[in-house]
Structure 1
Amino acid sequence: MKKPADQPLRPITTAMLLAAGRGERMRPLTDHTPKPLLQAGDKPLIEHHLQKLAAAGFKKVVINLAWLGQKIEDYLGDGNQFGLQIVYSHEVQALETGGGIFQALPLLKNNKGEAEPFALVNGDVFSELDYQKLTALPAGSLAHLFLVDNPTHNPQGDFILEAGWVYDRNQPQQAAGLTFSGCSILDPSIFLDQSAGKFPLAPILRNFMLQEKVTGEKQTDFWLDVGTPERLDYLNNKLG
């Protein structure tokens, strides 16, 4: 099986944070507070991501907003306090991952108006991944995914990782795969055949997996899907 091409990497300085979800499983905590602003240790969850992105050299962060989105924008402002330029993509209703990214693509272009690869981080995860790893997309890849060992709530995993390439775990008899961490790097060209609306990202990724265009690596750093009040309590206990 061929390995991802050993060629110069494409540097990335723009990221997108997904923050539009309602957070149904976190209710009642999210009835009046958007999930990204829930406290994780000494700061809101989204601040952990922004500080790590800035430390890794990112300059611009696009955040999509829907449920209680104005509270997020009011809290973060233009990002100057993090050394970042923050811009917002407002959704009338949450467009799911794929639709939200598609709407934000014009905001993700560089200062010359050119489309470039960007880092993507789910706002409802906590990760100790070194975000420096999000600053370059391997040559020959249209998406690079960071995968983790399967948590108890996703025992079979999402994808298979073989020799640096990611494949769909689409056969029941296959061994348990790995779980997508919510951290990735995407080339905007994967959305060329899409149109505005509400749609998920996963089917798009699976299509390019069939073409061996999706690379990945396993993340061994601490990671948590902060999807329920119990997991948020666990995280706060860990962070002290």
Structure 2
Amino acid sequence: MISHFFQRKGKLDAKEDSLTSLTFDGLKYLPDELFWSILKSSLIIGSLPNVTAVDDIYFWQHWSAEGTSNTTYIEPDVFIRVERFDVIIEAKRWDKNQQSVSQKEDQITAYYNDFSDDKKLLYYIELGGLYNKNPEPNYLHNDLEVVICKTNWSHLLMSIVKHYENLDKLKLKLFNPQKRILEDIIKGFELHQFYTMKWFDDLKHPKMYSNQFDFFKFAKGHNCSKQRLITPFMNVSKVSLNNITTNNLFQYAKSTQ
């Protein structure tokens, strides 16, 4: 399905839910340790324990709304269960200024409505929509601590690309299935205006850009698509680049036309 949209055979209605689905539906097909390493290393604030097995991954479950601000049900975006703890992921469309404190409180309350008998530690990950990248104290729910973690889509994409490159360096066909999954996830990010961009060969890590680069859409695949997409330069004033970088950027853009 990702190729259908990526090759412009159909138009994707790019929203928060489609970005969440294309990303985590892909990640869930990876070996559990690889999936967990990508998620764990993407965190900006907080940390997750190491795990070797992921028991279940659920999307948009309906939980009891008792004691919350909602009258029907509570619907977390992603819910991950492992043996020793559970993880709620609340995803937002963009990287900044969308998370809701009341929504977090409602989801944590609803979790304990349905899963309190399991007596497991809960982690709550804010993915995107961050108002800041400051550490937060653990959230207390009836004397039960919930660990608050933060990341954004750009950091998650960076983690995916880093793990892809690590697999690629091994030069083993054994890992081709995992690499193909990661390639499709990277394409999904591009469809939602999150791009990877390698500027110079001596860069150790690719830089990640989201929708603030609407004036310059650049897609360079990692052993996947070699297609480069360049759109008219718009909103240039929104971009802050030094002169040397700017010159190299437009030189490179011109050479690919």
TM-score band by shorter chain is under 0.3
Name the larger-Rg structure: 2
TM-score by length of 2: 0.25
More strand as a share of residues: 1
**Larger RCO: 1 or 2 (CA < 8 Å, sep 6+):** 1
Higher helix share: 2
TM-score (ref. length: structure 1): 0.27
